[in-house]
Structure 1
Amino acid sequence: MTKQRIGNIGVLNLTKVDEKTISGIESIENVGCIIYSRETAHLQAALKVQNVGASIEINGDYQTMTGETVLSRGYFQSLTSPVQMLAVGSVVLDEDIEEADLEGKVDGLFVVGVLYTPAHLQGIIQSKVKHMTGMFDTYQGEKPRLINGKLELTNAYLDSIQTSVKLTVNGKLTLEKDLSMEAFKQKIEHLTVNGILYYHESQESVVFSVPNTISGNSVKIPEGFSLLTSAQSYSARTLRRLNGAKLMTTHPIYFEKDVTREMLERAIDRIQTTSIVVVDENLEDLLYEKTNLEAEILSYEGQYVLIEDEETWVTEEYAAYEKPVTLIVAGKLHFGEDLSADELNIIIKNIDLLGTIVAATPEIKGTVKSLLRLNDGSVENPDQPADDEYDVANYGELSL
């Protein structure tokens, strides 16, 4: 019997698992937390487990809360019997909850993440916590704001804060260039960023004078630079909007064939990037002068073709392109069996691989590999599984 590989699970419930099921599991990886009972505790020793946030014993029934959860006074008043609560993510208790609302309602709190409680509930909440992996904190006034994903901190956002708050961003936080730093100091009581923080050079002293916890990267945008938050393609028409621009980005920049040396010289002063810059080969030397040393400049002679999503190419697909073709694969490209490896060699000059190419035959696969100029992706066979790492993956909660 083939054993299962399990990964990318928020909560893995092993409270009712048996030895037969355990024997069918090869490995478990990337799990927020594993829940087991007193009866199944001994079975964990038989598991090959890696990258698990927490392993928690819970006996009896429990309620699961994942992501960002706000618990109100009405929620506790609606409970008719004590409950055990498992929270994976962020939990905030409303400021109007009283100690009496919790009496006889909470049998235990198991937290993997962050738990915020009003200061007047600190004692009773601590007495209910049976497991804590992460952070426990109190607040007064406005309840903390928790953002999962990305946030651009603007003056309008600061205006929406009545007093001051603890702000947590799990993802990407960008500070608006014209952000009032005086308002920032007044409104942000504590800043937590789990991910990446982008701030402008003039904001640096104020940003780090506020109590903060930065788990990840903080990136300073140099004075005079503009941050590009997505991939950009510039043609002769769209380049006219720029005049001596200084650009900073982690995303690709593409310059179309109709961009001339004079246009590029006038429009772009500097580019600070950790991604790729695609440009006609006649302008390659100019781009080297205008970009940082870490930039990956990819030049093309005839035409470049960008694959961002998932496409399948047949002979007719590439026959009409201006030759030679520089192929940039950021998504997934399938080369079918009807394609000629010899024709690919004639038509395609370079392949810059950032995603995946699926080659139908060994001949096509060999040709693709010989044309690779940049290889930050993979070349696969058509029978290769879409997810060859795990058999069971990407569940918020999974019970075995």
Structure 2
Amino acid sequence: MHEPLPIHEAEQALLYVAADCDRDVWFSVAGALKDEYGEAGFDLFDAFSQQGQSYEKGACKATWRSAKAGHYTIGTLIKLAVQGGWQRPKRELTAEEKRALRKEQAERRKARQAEVEADEKRAAVMREAVSQACVTIWQEYTRLVDVKAQPYLQAKGVGAHGVREARQPVLLVVDDAAGASRVLAGNEIRQFFSTVPKPRPDSLSYLKLDFRDLVVPMRDAAGKLWSVQVIKAGGTKLFPRYGRKKGCFHVIGDLDKAELVGFSEGYATSASVYEMGTGWPVVCCFDSGNMLPVGQAFHGAGLMMGRPPVWAADNDAVNAKTGKQAGQDAALACQAALGGVVYVPPAPVGEAA
């Protein structure tokens, strides 16, 4: 249990944490500040992030929004700072100063808890709104894929398995302020952009689908469509803000008579594994961090009964900064938690998707 850390000391501690750190460390700093100071910690996180060479205001705000209180504590920041050479001031506090600090910390935590509850309530409303908008896009604005003319599938050399493509340009608008999401097409798109204030409010975001963009449905174990992944011709992958990803997936093949089931990251890798002719279905989890939540969802829904899982890891190169291989590491974590075997497709490094 750490002593309360006044915000001015947190500012000093951050001087000893490299702003050009890897994303995991950067995210942990956001989580630690949010856990301790709530929304009052954002300015500190933003000022810290600006010291990095790759700073982007939008990415900083998005990371702050996605950080959840409770995953990290201020102790995480203290540890990082100490590792960087920081020494917390040793001055002995008086009993009165300690009481004041603890009272301030208790008040911050109470306010932060209220923020967390309000954020979660708003997020739940927005996830449902985005789900309904994605259902509209899937049902009304997509079509069966013309594989020979589909640029992404042609580039990856795989077929279309339960995915569709946009039949016309369409815009999914997410409006926090209104607590709603809507789908625009045709002249509505042009009208929308002509009326958006500049600079665009943080409460307003959008996802644009162009003609022939690949659309991959994202469903939960009960079959509900929560979101979609949009894959551009060049391979860029996009998700709508508030679109639920955790525990959502896309199944390639038939689960009903399967003797085992494969789990993989992106659509192209999943399709490649399926097309090897094994006959077993492959579950697209969208990224390495979602493989375990998807596996747990399958396990909880009884979809793994008598079906050993095969964790197909992307053939990632070793990250020069972290020394990790995200795909293989995620597959091994899944194997440790849920059993099964790990399989690394012989695709060239960098070709995973």
TM range (shorter): under 0.3
Normalising by structure 2, report the TM-score. Answer: 0.27
Larger fraction in strand: 1
Larger fraction in helix: 2
Q: If you compute each CA radius of gyration, which structure gives the higher value, 1 or 2? A: 1
